[in-house]
Amino acid sequence: MSERPWLKNLIAAVVIMAGGFFLFNFAFISAAFIINASIKLLNLPGNSAPPFLARIVYVVFILVLSWFVLRSRLNDTLKATYLTMPLMVVLVSIGIFTYQLSMGVVIGLGAAVVAAVLFYIHHKKLSWKYYFAVFYVAALALMIMLLGIDI
């Protein structure tokens, strides 16, 4: 396989996309669990809007978990795959927290987050796999927003 690096790279890209899809589902299931648990703990009516604090707790939970995973000794393909989840969570959270603002503002805030992550990846001279993961998530998030897909 060493004579075919393109195949190794293609497999890594597929792993990042497929793993990202799996992790997006995990992220949204865990969000539902945390938000529903907070509604139950606060004894709110079942149809009430999720408390702002519950959404913040969820984002912090994902970011703390991410800190441990991304600082681990996992290989670059697995860490880049994992990076898709917290990045999507942050971008979706920006969309949720700013839904009343214009689409341009929301896209601008998302672009600022993506730019900051790309700057960090460049500064740390990380593998192309991290760039791929970021562009994959950014493209998905932008498509979700422009096509009006509800998550």
Residues 6+ apart with CB under 8 A from 61: 30, 34
Q: DSSP letters along 29-91, please?
A: HHHHHHHHHHHHHTT--TTSPPPHHHHHHHHHHHHHHHHHHHTSS--HHHHHHHHHHHHHHHH
The SS3 assignment for 103 reads helix
pLDDT tens-digit readout, 101-119 = 999 999 999 999 999 999 9
pLDDT tens-digit readout, 131-144 = 999 999 999 999 99
pLDDT tens-digit readout, 47-77 = 666 677 788 888 898 999 999 999 999 999 9
pLDDT of 1 over the 60 cut: no
76, 127 contact by CB (below 8 A): yes
Quote the pLDDT of residue 2.
58
Distance CA 134, CA 117 (A): 8
Quote the pLDDT of residue 81.
98
- Put residue 148 in one of left, alpha, beta given phi > 0 → left and psi -120 to 50 → alpha: left
- Which H helix or E strand runs over 111? helix 103-123
Quote the pLDDT of residue 4.
87
Please, what is the average pLDDT of the chain? Answer: 91
Task: Please give the DSSP secondary-structure letter assigned to residue 127.
Answer: -
